[in-house]
């Protein structure tokens, strides 16, 4: 059957789904793949049909965890590997608290289906193994692993044996029903051997967000895989026992390799921990400064945004970089850096999202309105395939110019750390100047009570008319609402972090300028 015919047959069902969704309350698409949102839409799929709502429920039911405390990793309900039950208590504490490098490593291989007509991804190696699980725990883990295979090979069954394949590293996020997130890091490469063969993927699941560090770990895994699969085990065991370093610190892993002897692998965590999952280079390689500003404007008002590219690494790097521009705020809605083909119907959700979609699926994305579709490809004819048209007027003009001026200070020879600093500070200063006065408008009556945010007084205090107009819209977003809710509930907690430091610096600067004038 031709591709065109296949698409035509899908259209009636897509229209029906869109119609049903448009009648639902503006909640999350499905709570187990989104952040902290409203109730899941109550409409059901048509009888006899496994629509996107049911598919998401089935695939992500196993990603539900206990909500972590602030400042800790997500707590794992999976028991320790029985081989290590005799380990010391500090190791077990790190595992339970989330301060360990990873939950597990899996190798996903493409195996021929029974009829030999196509390939399907299957787990062929797992470390550590969970041999002593109860029946319900095993079922939950099987669902999790099945979902992971989809993200390792989002293209589905459309594969053919290859003789050459450029390895690539990418990441994805598994969002729990309570809004906490786990990270999947993948490296796909062609396994050793002769002749045409399908690629395989190495995937590490961790509650820790640090793309650069896990990329280096994959370098070591790949080096050992070239010699023997058995050599991966001792390295990962040493890694699993090691403490996760504090920001700016280094941990050293000793590992023995036949013919090479004992090697010491140094893994350093970036000092700016909130940027350790981010590389802004890919974002500015794909988009101009002005285009990045338009994407940021749409993101800050929590719109529906789809990024298009062929390379999985480009999609994951760009979408994480865009989310990082929102700091100190956090994207609270659907966030899928690489959408598996089987879940492409998620683009029809009426709620906000950030999605990464491979370019060959573009036709299934662009038949909608109220959407920003951003082409990241090198051979693109235009960057914004679909847009609302008002993106350039969302941010105050003066602040847009200041961001562009700050971005122009970066150098082509900048290191990743230098680039991250210039870019992050440009957008951080935007939030300092627009909403940095927020602490003055949370009032507490008694120490035991939660605070109350004075909305009207807050935005009325802004002198610039264009800035006040923007802030009034921004205050309606979920990211701002949850940011303020957290502030209201923790009056005893001192303000800290780089955002608060920049606010104090800005306020001091304004005081000095005011003193000079008088």
For 353-395, the pLDDT digits (tens) are: 999 999 999 998 887 778 999 999 998 999 999 999 999 999 9
* Predicted pLDDT at 82: 28
What pTM does this model have?
0.74
Cβ contact 321:468 at 8 Å: no
DSSP for residue 33: G
- Cβ neighbours of residue 28 under 8 Å, at least 6 residues apart? 34, 35, 37, 38, 39, 40, 333, 334, 351
Cβ contact 388:370 at 8 Å: yes
φ, ψ for residue 253, nearest 5 deg: -115, 125
Q: Residue 54 and residue 49: Cα distance in Å, rounded?
A: 9
* Predicted pLDDT at 373: 96
* Predicted pLDDT at 13: 32
- Cβ neighbours of residue 83 under 8 Å, at least 6 residues apart? 128
| CATH class assigned to 104-247 | alpha beta
* Predicted pLDDT at 74: 29
The domain 280-403: what is its CATH number? 3.40.50.11500
> From edge to edge, which strands make up the β-sheet containing 181-189?
119-127, 104-112, 200-206, 181-189, 168-175
Strand boundaries in 47-139, DSSP class E = 104-112, 119-127
> CATH 3.30.450.200: which residues of the chain?
104-247
> CATH 3.40.50.11500: which residues of the chain?
280-403
What is the CB neighbour count within 10 angstroms for residue 514? Answer: 9
Dihedral over alpha carbons 495, 501, 507, 510 (to 10 degrees): 180
Both tokens of 115, joined, read: 């009829």
Positions in the chain whose pLDDT score sits under 50? 1-98
């Amino acid at each position: 059957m031709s591709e065109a015919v296949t698409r035509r047959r899908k259209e009636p069902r897509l229209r029906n789904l869109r119609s049903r969704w448009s009648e639902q309350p503006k909640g999350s698409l499905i709570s187990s793949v989104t952040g902290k949102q409203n109730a899941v839409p109550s409409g059901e799929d048509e009888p006899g049909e496994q629509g996107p709502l049911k598919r998401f429920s089935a695939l992500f039911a196993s990603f539900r965890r206990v909500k972590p405390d602030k400042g800790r990793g997500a707590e794992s309900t999976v028991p320790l590997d029985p081989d290590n039950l005799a380990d010391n208590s500090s190791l077990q504490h790190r595992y339970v608290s989330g301060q360990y490098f990873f939950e597990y490593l899996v190798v996903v291989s493409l195996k021929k289906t029974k009829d030999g007509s196509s390939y399907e991804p299957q787990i062929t190696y797992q470390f550590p193994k969970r041999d002593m699980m109860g029946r319900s725990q095993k079922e939950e883990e099987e669902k999790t692993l099945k979902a992971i295979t989809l993200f390792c090979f989002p293209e589905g069954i459309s594969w053919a044996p290859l003789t050459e394949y450029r390895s690539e590293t990418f990441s994805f996020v598994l969002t729990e029903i309570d809004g906490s997130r786990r990270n999947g890091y993948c490296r796909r490469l062609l396994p050793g051997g002769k002749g045409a063969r399908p690629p395989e993927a190495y995937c590490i699941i961790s509650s820790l967000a640090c793309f650069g560090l896990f990329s280096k770990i994959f370098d070591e895994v790949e080096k050992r895989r070239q010699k023997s699969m058995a050599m991966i085990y001792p390295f990962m065991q040493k890694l699993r026992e090691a403490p996760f370093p504090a920001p700016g610190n280094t941990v050293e892993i000793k590992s023995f390799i036949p013919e090479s002897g004992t090697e010491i692998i140094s893994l350093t965590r970036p000092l700016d921990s909130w940027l350790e999952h981010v590389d802004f280079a890919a974002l500015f390689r794909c988009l101009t400064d002005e285009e990045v500003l338009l994407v940021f404007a749409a993101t800050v008002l929590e719109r529906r945004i789809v990024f298009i590219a062929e390379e999985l690494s480009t999609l994951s790097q760009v979408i994480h970089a865009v989310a990082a521009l929102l700091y100190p705020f956090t994207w609270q809605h659907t966030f899928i850096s690489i959408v598996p083909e089987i879940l492409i119907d998620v683009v029809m959700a009426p709620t906000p999202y950030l999605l990464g979609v491979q370019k060959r699926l573009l036709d299934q994305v662009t038949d909608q309105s109220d959407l920003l579709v951003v082409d990241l490809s090198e051979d693109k004819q235009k960057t914004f395939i679909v847009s609302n048209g008002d993106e350039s007027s969302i941010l105050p003009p003066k602040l847009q110019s200041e961001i562009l001026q700050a971005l122009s200070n970066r150098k082509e020879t900048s290191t990743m750390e230098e680039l991250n600093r210039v870019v992050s500070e440009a957008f951080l200063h935007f939030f300092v100047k627009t909403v940095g006065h927020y602490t003055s408008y949370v009032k507490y009556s008694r120490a035991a009570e939660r605070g109350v945010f004075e909305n009207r007084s807050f935005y009325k205090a802004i002198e610039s008319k264009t800035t006040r107009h923007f802030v009034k819209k921004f205050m309606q977003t979920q990211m701002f609402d949850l940011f303020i809710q957290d502030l209201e509930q923790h009056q005893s907690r001192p303000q800290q972090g780089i955002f608060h430091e920049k606010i104090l610096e800005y306020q001091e600067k304004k005081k000095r300028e005011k003193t000079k004038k008088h």
